[in-house]
Structures are given as structure tokens and as C-alpha cells.
């Protein structure tokens, strides 16, 4: 079958176009370094490449989450570390005041300043300007000081977390309520700022109120009490031993409550009690001329030290002539004492250490998962390179071959186009 010149020309043009398209695509692969420019190049490989890239993007998001989590956790760890240092200093100052080895005024000023430092740390913001300890209310100030000096928590109980893998989450913070306001003590749950205030008040009254007071043979105890009954518990020791006295006391009613209870234990203590009707004080006398010791007062309804103590007992010691010996000693609820304040501070230190340990555990999770993510990213990147990266040496060789073919085709086409009818008839 003979082919007309017109059809021959059309076929030649189409072949040249295909050659040029192949050359152009090969050049594009070389310039981009990519073996698959479109799904039609290799449908199966294109699907595998797409899946691998999606996995790479997912791992990148996990890595970004890990970086963000690490930053917040590192900041939280630093805050807890500094908080522990601050509370430890308050503990040292409180003990100094209890031992009488420091200037009370200077100690009070430093404790007050350290409370402000603690408040600032509790209101710390992260690198995004979000409150670190406010739960989900990240745009609010979590801790606010009130007119009476107390500190309220305005955040919520939300705990932030981020995804580090398909099955792992890590918490990036602790809500302020859990971090600073729920410290377990023997008297229940208290906030760190209340505990600091308690230390301040204990130091303030450390020169006035003591754990115990004593007298030789004869003492008189004057109680400052509310009008309504208030339960008091204290230890009373005489020449014959010690007992715990527990009864409800009210102003003007000691002869009906306290005195009968003390006298009911005379055989155990050697102490008898009566009422001084002139002063309203309770007169204590040891039948065997022994030492009288009153100590460890507990008053119902009082859990923390106060800057203005309302209820207390004042013990005066008398000699054989009925003259007062020495200065009066005041006793009040043991929570007012420095020894109690240090116990509360130790509870707070233990609590903050536990919170820091939790943060440390989350940091370890992030560190371990980062190693896993790096390994996974390496594997996925290697797979993407294997599927999608071009073999430049092979492509250059192919391009050279295609260029030679194109040039040869052009030359042949031109040669054929130059022939006349007489060339074909010969």
C-alpha cells in the first residue's frame, strides 16, 4: 500500500510531537529530580508515593507537637523548681523566727515578698502568651490576690495534651488548682498561698504564743473565749502524771465546764482546779507541790494561724506568797505556732515535688517518642526517595538517546522531503 505525501507528513509531525513530549518530560524529571511527575507516569508507584508523603506530613505534625510539648513542659519544670526553692526559703525564715535567731520584722518582709514571687510564677505565660496554669482558660490570669490578701484561683481543671503518635498523648501542663491549691495536710486540703500566709502569721505572733506554759505548784489561767461554746483540747500535767482535757468552753461558764473536768482527773495529775471569782481565772494547784504544765492546745474551728488571734489562754505563775512570778505565757491553737507552720510548708514542698515528678514523667515520654519519630521519619523519607527520586544517570542517558533519535528523524524527514517524482520513478 502506498502512503500519500500528506498522510506521511501528518504521521511524521505526530511522531515528532511525541518525541518532543518525551524529551520535555525527561528534561523536567532531570531538573526536578522527581521520577513521578503525574499519576499517569506510574499509577501504582504514584499511589504508594502519595501514601508515604501523607505519612511524612503526619509525622511532621507529631514532631511539631513534641516540640511544643517539650517547651511547655520545660517551662513548667522550671517553675516548679523555683517554687520549691522559694518555699524552702520561707521554711528557713519560719524556723529562724521560731528559734528567735532572726529579726522578725525583716523575716516578715521577706516572706511577704516571696509570696509575690510565688504568685508571679503561678501566673507564668508560655511562648504563645497563654497562661501555663489556668487550665483551658489560657487567656485569663489564673491567680488573683484579693483585698484581704488571700489568693483565688480563676482557672479551671482542664489539662492540655497533644498527640505524639496514632496512639500516644502527652500532657503539656497541670491546671493551677491541682498544682498550687490542693495540698493535702493533716487538717484537709489547702492552697500554697494560704500556707504561706499561715507562716507569715505564725512568725508574726511567734514571740507571743507558745506551745506550752508551766508554773511551780500554783498557776492561774485566764481564758479569752467566745460567748458560744467552743471545744478546747489540751494536755495538763502535774506531779502525778499527764492527761488530755477536752471540753466545750464559753465565756463566764468555766466553773460549769472546765473545772469539773480537771477535778475529775486529780488522781491522775495531782492538780485541783477552782475559780477565782474576782478575775474569772481558773486556779490550778498541785497537791504535791509539783510543776504544772499546760500544752498542745487545739481549738475547734481553727485550722490556720491568724494575724489577729481572738481566743487564747494566759497562764500566770504564783509563788508561795501569792505573788506573780515572771511574765504571763499565752497559749492558743497549735496551728498558730511556728512548728505547725513548718509542717504545712513541708506538705507544700512534698506536693510541689510530686507535681514536678509528674512533669518529669511527661518530659520522658516526649524524649522517648522523639526518638521513635526520628526513626519513623527516616524510614518514610527513605521510602519516598526510593519511589519518587529520579535516577539522573539513567535519565541523562535516555535524554541523549531521545535527542539522537529526534535529530535522525528530522534528517530523514528532510531528506525525503527533498526528493521529486523523478527520484521515485528511477
CATH number of the domain residue 162 falls in: 1.20.1330.10
**pLDDT tens, position by position, 133-147:** 999 998 999 999 999
DSSP code of 405?
H
Identify the pLDDT of residue 408.
64
pLDDT value for 391: 46
Cβ-defined contacts of 147-156 (< 8 Å, 24+): 149/197, 150/193, 150/194, 150/197, 151/119, 151/191, 151/193, 151/194, 153/177, 153/180, 153/181, 153/191, 155/131
Q: Is 31 inside a domain boundary?
A: no
Please tell me whether residues 306 and 183 are part of one structural domain: no
70 and 186 inside one domain: yes
Number of domains present in the structure of the chain: 2
Do 256 and 346 have their domain in common?
Answer: no
Looking at 350, 374, 398, which one is the last position of a domain?
A: 374
For residue 126, give its domain range. Answer: 57-203+340-374
Q: Kind of pairing, strands 169-171 and 218-224? A: unpaired
Domain final residue pick, 272, 306, 336: 336
356 vs 115: CA distance, rounded Å: 20
Q: How far apart are CA 365 and CA 193, in angstroms?
A: 31
Q: Which three cell numbers stand for residue 359?
A: 512533669
Q: Say whether both 328 and 368 belong to one domain.
A: no
Is residue 370 a part of any domain in this protein? yes
Q: Are residues 117 and 188 part of one domain?
A: yes
User: Do 230 and 148 share a structural domain?
Assistant: no
Judge if 84 and 165 occupy the same domain: yes
Domain assignment present for residue 419? The answer is: no
Give domain status of residue 22, yes or no: no
pLDDT in tens, 37-58: 454 455 555 556 567 667 778 8
Instruction: Kindly state whether residue 179 falls inside one of the protein's structural domains.
Output: yes
Q: How many CB atoms lie within 10 A of CB 280?
A: 14
Which pLDDT belongs to residue 39?
A: 47
Inside any domain, residue 174:
yes
In this structure, is residue 143 part of a structural domain?
yes
Residue 270: name the closest of 221, 237, 247, 222 by CA.
237
User: Are 240 and 183 part of one and the same domain?
Assistant: no
Q: Are residues 324 and 353 located together in one domain of the fold?
A: no
Question: Do residue 173 and residue 234 come from a single domain?
Answer: no
Average pLDDT for consecutive 10-residue bins of the chain (426 residues)?
A: 55 61 59 52 57 78 91 96 98 92 92 97 94 93 93 93 89 94 92 96 92 95 93 96 95 88 96 94 95 96 85 94 92 93 96 97 93 83 60 56 61 59 50
- At residue 330, the pLDDT reads 95
State whether 261 and 114 are in the same domain.
no
Q: Give the domain-ending residue among 309, 336, 363.
A: 336
For residues 121 and 150, membership in a common domain is answered with yes
Residue 397, H or E segment: helix 392-417
Give, as one character, the DSSP assignment of residue 155: S
Q: Is residue 411 part of a domain?
A: no
Amino acid at each position: 500500500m502506498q502512503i500519500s505525501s500528506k498522510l506521511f507528513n501528518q504521521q511524521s509531525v505526530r511522531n515528532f510531537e511525541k518525541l518532543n513530549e518525551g524529551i520535555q518530560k525527561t528534561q523536567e524529571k532531570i531538573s526536578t529530580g522527581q521520577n513521578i511527575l503525574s499519576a499517569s507516569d506510574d499509577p501504582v508507584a504514584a499511589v504508594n508515593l502519595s501514601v508515604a508523603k501523607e505519612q511524612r506530613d503526619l509525622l511532621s505534625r507529631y514532631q511539631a507537637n513534641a516540640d511544643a510539648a517539650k517547651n511547655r513542659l520545660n517551662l513548667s519544670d522550671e517553675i516548679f523548681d523555683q517554687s520549691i526553692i522559694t518555699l524552702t526559703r520561707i521554711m528557713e525564715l519560719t524556723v529562724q523566727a521560731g528559734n528567735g535567731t532572726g529579726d522578725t520584722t525583716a523575716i516578715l518582709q521577706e516572706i511577704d515578698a516571696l509570696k509575690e514571687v510565688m504568685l508571679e510564677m503561678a501566673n507564668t505565660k508560655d511562648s504563645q502568651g497563654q497562661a501555663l496554669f489556668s487550665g483551658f482558660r489560657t487567656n485569663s490570669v489564673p491567680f488573683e490576690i484579693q483585698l484581704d490578701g488571700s489568693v483565688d484561683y480563676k482557672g479551671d481543671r482542664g489539662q492540655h495534651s497533644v498527640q505524639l503518635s496514632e496512639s500516644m498523648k502527652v500532657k503539656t501542663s497541670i491546671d493551677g488548682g491541682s498544682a498550687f491549691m490542693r495540698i493535702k495536710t493533716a487538717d484537709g486540703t489547702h492552697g500554697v498561698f494560704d500556707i504561706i500566709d499561715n507562716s507569715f502569721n505564725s512568725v508574726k505572733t511567734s514571740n507571743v504564743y507558745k506551745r506550752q506554759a508551766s508554773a511551780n505548784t500554783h498557776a492561774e489561767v485566764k481564758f479569752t473565749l467566745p460567748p458560744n461554746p467552743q471545744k478546747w483540747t489540751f494536755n495538763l500535767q502535774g506531779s502525778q502524771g499527764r492527761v488530755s482535757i477536752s471540753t466545750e468552753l464559753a465565756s463566764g461558764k468555766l466553773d460549769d465546764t472546765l473545772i469539773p473536768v480537771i477535778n475529775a482527773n486529780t488522781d491522775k495529775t495531782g492538780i485541783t482546779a477552782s475559780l477565782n471569782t474576782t478575775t474569772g481565772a481558773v486556779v490550778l494547784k498541785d497537791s504535791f507541790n509539783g510543776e504544772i504544765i499546760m500544752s498542745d492546745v487545739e481549738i475547734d474551728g481553727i485550722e490556720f494561724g491568724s494575724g489577729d488571734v481572738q481566743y487564747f489562754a494566759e497562764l500566770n505563775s504564783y509563788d508561795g506568797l501569792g505573788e506573780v512570778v515572771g511574765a504571763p505565757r499565752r497559749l492558743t491553737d497549735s496551728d498558730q505556732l511556728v512548728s505547725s507552720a513548718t509542717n504545712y510548708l513541708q506538705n507544700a514542698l512534698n506536693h510541689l515535688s510530686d507535681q514536678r515528678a509528674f512533669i518529669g514523667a511527661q518530659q520522658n515520654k516526649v524524649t522517648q517518642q522523639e526518638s521513635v519519630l526520628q526513626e519513623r521519619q527516616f524510614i518514610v523519607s527513605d521510602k519516598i526517595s526510593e519511589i519518587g527520586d529520579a535516577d539522573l544517570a539513567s535519565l541523562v542517558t535516555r535524554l541523549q538517546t531521545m535527542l539522537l533519535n529526534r535529530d535522525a528523524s528530522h534528517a530523514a524527514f528532510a531528506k525525503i522531503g527533498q526528493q521529486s517524482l523523478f527520484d521515485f520513478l528511477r
